[in-house]
Structure 1
Amino acid sequence: MAQQERAVRTRQAILAAAAQVFDEVGYEAATVSEILTRSGVTKGALYFHFASKEQLAQGVLQENAQVVPRVPAQRLKLQEAVDRGMLLAYQMGVDPLLRGSVRLALERSGNDSLDRKIPFEAWTRESELLLEQARLAGELQPHVDTEELAGVFVGAFAGVQLMSQALTDRQDLCERIAVLYRVLMSGVAVPSALVQLDVTAGRGARVQALIDQGRQEPADPHGQRPFLVGRG
């Protein structure tokens, strides 16, 4: 069991180092030697887990589909859908594995065969499931197509984070994603659900704190809260 745990830790150290290098210089410029140096493992250990740079990159992309924890359950499924995005925005500021996998997913190269669809398909699928539950609960306006909305959620997030990266190195990502979701929710949520949503820039950090504490957000005794739109 101890040997198995060491192998898992070694693999994660390699992936974390690879993601950091991919985030900093991109796939083409990244080298296995630099990843090896950053990881602090032996060459034999690295090649035991990953036979090539392409396998390293694919491993980072695979981790992307699992790196964001499931958010605490909420009475509103729309809040859970928002929380996933806000948590992702928050974690991109603190998690190099996530940042590296996002760059790989969005980067294009003609010299590799990486499957960059993995994180997009996984997040779109999970978003659609949450949005369909929201539709069944009467939280969405009748005209909303949940499959289309899930695609907009994921695609718009990708675009906004690229803009944030270009302008501020993602320092304002949480604020920009909060604005995105406020605009989206205003157009798709029914008024009774809209007034209960927390779509503020600090939402991702609060969700992370709830996850760390292993609990759900306390219920509002009055059954609703105002549509929160500030920066906090």
Structure 2
Amino acid sequence: MIRFHRRFHPPKVISFDLDDTLYDNVPIIKRTEERTHSLITERVPETREWDIEHWRQRRLDLMRRDDALADNMTALRRATLLQGFRELEIDDADTVTDEIMDAFLAFRSDFSVSEEVHDLLDQLASRYSLVAVSNGNADVKRVGIGHYFKLALQPTHDLRGKPNTDMFEYVKQAMNCAPEAILHVGDSPQSDVFGAQRAGMQSVWLTSGLGRSHQLRVLPTVTIDDLQELSALLL
């Protein structure tokens, strides 16, 4: 069901979050971590006693200590691996980290989105300029949806992740568009709804992802329960 919380203005640009918005990322990341962990233990036998949960806890610890890593999942995973390998005094820890990360990123984008999502993006792309703005590390080209987007952004050293406004500001400049003419769609009350509102954009909160209503800091422009409801809203 579509619910309006703020005045809705027809957009010119639609910005999409990726993970848990265009697809269910939970099984994807679970499979990716399992494949990556197998590779780590094969490449670095000294880590055999460190299971997936051990590496996850290391990531959480780093997130708590370094705010810059909290919204950049790629940098966080790289830093976690490097910290572990250096702790074990692995030779060429930096090189091994790069090898593991290259494999992780390939595993990470080894999936396809549903035909319904392809159809929706195809229809929207014929009427609007679409961009992707994600804190994660899925590669839209490898996934097979890159051709729908004019622009795909992820955190870098120069662009902080959501809810910081860096990537949203980049979209405004790159698309030469007023913020209120951009509609950001995502499942996270913090990264997507709060981040977009901070940048002056409109937002659509998708409730079928991982976010929950008690996490909302501000009201979105629109709430939907299913991604396909964008058709009724925008087409």
| TM-score interval, smaller chain | 0.3 to 0.5
TM-score calculated relative to the size of structure 2:
0.34
TM-score calculated relative to the size of structure 1:
0.35
Relative contact order (alpha carbons < 8 A, sep ≥ 6): 1 or 2 greater? 2
Specify which structure has the higher proportion of helix.
1
Specify which structure has the higher proportion of strand.
2
